[in-house]
Amino acid sequence: MFINIFGKRIRAALRNWSTLIWTWIFPIMMATLFYFAFSALDEADLLTVIPIGIVDNQEYGEDTAFRSALGSLSADGDDKLFEATIYPSAEDAGKALENQDIDGYITLENAAPNLTVSGSGLNQTIIKSFLDQYSQTKHAITSILAENPGAVSEISELFNRESFTKEISLTQNPPSQTINYFYALLAMVCMYGAFQGHESVSYLQANLSPLGARRTLSPAKRLPMVVYDLLASFVVHVLCLMMLVAYIVLVLGVDFGSNLWMVILTCGLGSLLGIAFGALISAVTKFKENIKVALIITITMICSYGAGLMVSGINYTIARTLPVLSWLNPAARIADSFYCLYYYDNLSKYFLNLGILAAMTFTMFTITAFFLRRQRYESI
Amino acid sequence: MIKVKNLVKRYGSLVALDHFNLEVRDGEIFGLLGPNGSGKTTAINCMLSLLKYDKGEISLFQEPMSPTNYESKRKIGIVPQNVAVFNELTVYENIDYFCGLYVPEKSKRRPLVEEAIEFAGLKEYRKFLPKKLSGGLIRRLNIACGIAHKPRLIFLDEPTVAVDPQSRNSILEGIKALNAGGATIVYTSHYMEEVEQLCSRIMIMDKGRQIATGTKEELTAMINTGEKLTVEIYSLPLRVLDQIRSLEDVIKAEYSDSHLSAECKTGGHAIIEVLDLLRQNNLKFGLIYSEPPTLNDVFLEITGKQLRD
């Protein structure tokens, strides 16, 4: 009987296009969309070359030190900071600024650089910092040489700025703003296992479907029937999830860390939770089929939102302001488990998440079993 | 085969089965006939232990029926009113699946499935998914799923609803063949023609109660109405119609659309009397035909309403 029920349920599930679209094709499309939409986010923090303008007046022509300093930062290479454009007059530079061709322009007047910008921002702050540093250094050199002309050889020390701090990573992998979207997406797909769980239960209960009535009237015992059925649902759903993970890792190149088996374990437990969730909705509520499906989608989307699927960082905000809600959100726990695997070398929080997911799954299956134990109905 | 005594089933304040009694004998095709909502399906679901009931006793195969009476369940086949098949499994897979719930061994099951496919005329469609089948073929698949394991007792709950006449005839022939093969059949329908054609004994139900039980002949003999006479006549004066109405063996007579219709008493000589009267009045008539009373007449006379109301 196992092969009959298990095998045919797998076949049926693999031929059910609506379920496959929700649990496989739709997530692949979303993952691809995330990839193209957010791939620039991680690079957004890197500095880009800042376009600046220089007014070509007499002082600029004579100030070789300034030209040298600016030239070193405008030279092609990895350290290039400025893209400097020479303008014959302040008016021309002003027009370029107005047209947003440059972020600011520098005019040398009275032996000091003056900066003109049209707004505030990171680039403007960087130009200002460069000019301040240049002015301070120039002033220091001029003062030293005026008082002690023999100290020329030690002036170079002024430019040797030694850093006394060291940059280290708090996490085992570099931080990424985009990776959480993929984790939340996987959490959503785990919860979409609910479709499989709902279908399994609805096909078993005589008061939920004609198929359920027909199966209830057969001499096959209910417990093996439901276990084999749910097992087949689980296998199909994990298969869909694994294909999605493979796509995200191998095709999109998203890193899930080195704990592959734990990723699979998380997917497995997440799927089981999704199936338990769908089984619970199907067994406990008395709504019509389409209302139940709508309920599953709505709850899944709310949970996925809380896990950070739509708004980056919302999961952290909820965890900080409403921690209980965050702990009770299965999608947030699943996404956080992936997060722990990627970032932390200590897995205690990961296992805590898994424990919570297991407890939720057990509770939902227990309640479902309580409702499924009925063998005669008041009405059909 | 089946014994039901004083079965009472309530849905809140609504009494769906009101002290319902039934006895089905081994080897017969027993028809449950009644309008929609008369309690036919509820009665079947109670007999199969799918529904709880408030009072009464039900035994199948001389044993009390319960949800865990797996031995009895093994001998029963069910064809529910609503099609109950997996939309994602092919015709063969569906029949094999349901047969597998009764016959776990694949080697024993395979010939049974093949036989059911043959029986239902689905040989050409064995690899088809249900959505590719016509309404009639889906109904046949629904039947094949219920009978593949060769049950001794088969419940067919309105199996011909929404089926074209050709498929209906094919289904009815199939049911006769199942019965000829030794199966006892309980057949529910609100189509009296089917029940008349198929069933050896019939119970007419209304409002959860049995109205009458017996063979078709026994049922029609229970009522006062005999044959129904129809005479094609170009014109019928009201005076003559009144004379016809006053005949001793005529219960009711109407004239419309050039047709005289008369309901006659059982065992009378109404046809001769009506035709004599028409001749005496020099009225020429065309076609004459008479029909025996139908189950609808039985239902109408007992309940005062049509079966299909």
**Inter-chain residue contact A219 with B86, CB threshold 8 Å:** no
Name every residue whose Cβ is closer than 8 Å to that of residue B146 and which is 6 or more positions away in sequence: A214, B77, B78, B79, B80, B98, B154, B156
Chain A interface residues (partner B, CB cutoff 8 A) = 1, 3-5, 8, 11-13, 15-16, 203, 206, 209-211, 213-221, 375-380
The model's pLDDT over A10-27, given as tens digits with 9 standing for 90+, comes to 999 899 888 888 888 899
Residue A157 has what pLDDT? Answer: 65
Please tell me the least confidently modeled range out of A44-58, A109-123, A279-293. Answer: A44-58
How far apart are the CA of A219 and the nearest CA of chain B, in angstroms?
5
How far apart are the CA of A216 and the nearest CA of chain B, in angstroms?
8
**Inter-chain residue contact B45 with A209, CB threshold 8 Å:** no
Provide, as residue numbers in chain B, all residues whose Cβ is less than 8 Å from the Cβ of A13. 88
Return the percent helix, strand and coil in chain B, to nearest 5: 35, 30, 35
Same domain, residue pair A273 and A126: no
In this prediction the pTM is: 0.75
**B58 pLDDT more than 70:** yes
Same domain, residue pair A139 and A203: no
What is the average pLDDT score of chain B? 90
Which residue among A157, A190, A207 closes a domain? A157
- Closest-CA residue of B relative to A16 is B88
Name every residue whose Cβ is closer than 8 Å to that of residue A316 and which is 6 or more positions away in sequence: A308
Same domain, residue pair A29 and A102: no
Q: Within a domain: residue A164?
A: no
Choose among B190, B203, B155, B149: nearest CA to B175. B155
- Closest-CA residue of B relative to A15 is B88
Same domain, residue pair A262 and A299: yes
Q: Within a domain: residue A165?
A: no
Q: Within a domain: residue A138?
A: yes
Same domain, residue pair A99 and A247: no
| DSSP-derived 3-state class of residue B28 | coil
**Inter-chain residue contact A218 with B97, CB threshold 8 Å:** no
Choose among A319, A318, A299: nearest CA to A360. A299
Same domain, residue pair A291 and A245: yes
Residues B249, B268 contacting (CB under 8 angstroms): yes
Provide, as residue numbers in chain B, all residues whose Cβ is less than 8 Å from the Cβ of A3. 106
A198 pLDDT band, cuts 50/70/90, is very high
How far apart are the CA of A217 and the nearest CA of chain B, in angstroms?
7
Paired tokens of B264: 């006659």
The model's pLDDT over A145-179, given as tens digits with 9 standing for 90+, comes to 787 777 766 666 665 655 666 666 666 666 666 78
Same domain, residue pair A241 and A366: yes
Choose among B253, B226, B241, B235: nearest CA to B277. B241
How far apart are the CA of A278 and the nearest CA of chain B, in angstroms?
19
Q: Within a domain: residue A313?
A: yes
The Cα–Cα gap between B67 and A375 comes to: 6
The model's pLDDT over B77-107, given as tens digits with 9 standing for 90+, comes to 999 988 999 999 999 999 999 999 999 999 9
Provide, as residue numbers in chain B, all residues whose Cβ is less than 8 Å from the Cβ of A5. 97, 100
Residue B166 has what pLDDT? Answer: 82
**A289 pLDDT more than 80:** yes
Q: Per-residue pLDDT averaged across A202-222, rounded?
A: 89
**Inter-chain residue contact B84 with A218, CB threshold 8 Å:** no
The Cα–Cα gap between A124 and A333 comes to: 42
Residue B102 is nearest to which of A3, A13, A218, comparing CB atoms?
Answer: A218
Same domain, residue pair A121 and A67: yes
B271 pLDDT band, cuts 50/70/90, is confident
Residue B306 has what pLDDT? Answer: 67
Same domain, residue pair A311 and A354: yes
**Inter-chain residue contact B82 with A5, CB threshold 8 Å:** no
Residue B52 is nearest to which of A12, A15, A378, comparing CB atoms?
Answer: A378
Q: Within a domain: residue A367?
A: yes
**Inter-chain residue contact B67 with A210, CB threshold 8 Å:** no
**A361 pLDDT more than 90:** yes
Residue B197 has what pLDDT? Answer: 87
How far apart are the CA of A243 and the nearest CA of chain B, in angstroms?
22
B126 pLDDT band, cuts 50/70/90, is very high
Length of chain B: 309
CATH classification of the domain holding A106: 3.40.190
Q: Within a domain: residue A172?
A: no
Q: By residue range, what is the domain housing residue A247?
A: 2-39+178-374
Residues A140, A156 contacting (CB under 8 angstroms): no
Choose among B44, B43, B49, B84: nearest CA to B63. B49
**B309 pLDDT more than 60:** no
Q: Higher model confidence: residue B161 or residue B184? A: B184
Largest CA distance in chain A: 107
Residue A149 has what pLDDT? Answer: 73
Same domain, residue pair A84 and A152: yes
What is the domain count for chain A?
A: 2
Same domain, residue pair A208 and A132: no
Q: Which of A214, A375, A378 to mutate to test the interface with B (most CBs of B within 10 A)?
A: A214
Residue A167 has what pLDDT? Answer: 65
The model's pLDDT over A81-102, given as tens digits with 9 standing for 90+, comes to 888 899 998 899 999 999 888 9
**Inter-chain residue contact A16 with B146, CB threshold 8 Å:** no
Q: How many angstroms from the chain centroid is the CA of residue B29?
A: 10
What is the average pLDDT score of chain A? 86
Residue type, B183: A
**Inter-chain residue contact B93 with A16, CB threshold 8 Å:** no
Paired tokens of A349: 């929080």
Paired tokens of A157: 């020390």
Residues B208, B17 contacting (CB under 8 angstroms): yes
Paired tokens of B258: 């050039």
Q: Within a domain: residue A330?
A: yes
Residue B109 has what pLDDT? Answer: 94
- The alpha-helical segments, DSSP class H, found in chain A are 2-15, 17-20, 26-38, 58-62, 64-74, 90-98, 122-147, 152-155, 179-191, 193-202, 210-216, 222-246, 260-284, 289-306, 314-321, 323-328, 330-343, 348-372
Please tell me the least confidently modeled range out of A21-30, A152-161, A222-231, B190-199. Answer: A152-161
Residue B202 has what pLDDT? Answer: 93
The model's pLDDT over A276-288, given as tens digits with 9 standing for 90+, comes to 999 999 989 888 8
The Cα–Cα gap between A37 and A48 comes to: 20
The Cα–Cα gap between B25 and B6 comes to: 18
How far apart are the CA of A17 and the nearest CA of chain B, in angstroms?
9
Paired tokens of A38: 């957010």
Name every residue whose Cβ is closer than 8 Å to that of residue B80 and which is 6 or more positions away in sequence: A210, A213, A214, B142, B146, B157
Q: Per-residue pLDDT averaged across B181-192, rounded?
A: 90
Q: Higher model confidence: residue A79 or residue A41? A: A79
Q: Within a domain: residue A167?
A: no
How many contacts, defined by CB atoms under 8 Å, are there between A and B? 87
| DSSP-derived 3-state class of residue B18 | strand
Residues B50, A218 contacting (CB under 8 angstroms): no
Same domain, residue pair A233 and A326: yes
| DSSP-derived 3-state class of residue A248 | helix
Residue A162 has what pLDDT? Answer: 59
The model's pLDDT over A246-270, given as tens digits with 9 standing for 90+, comes to 999 899 888 777 788 898 999 999 9
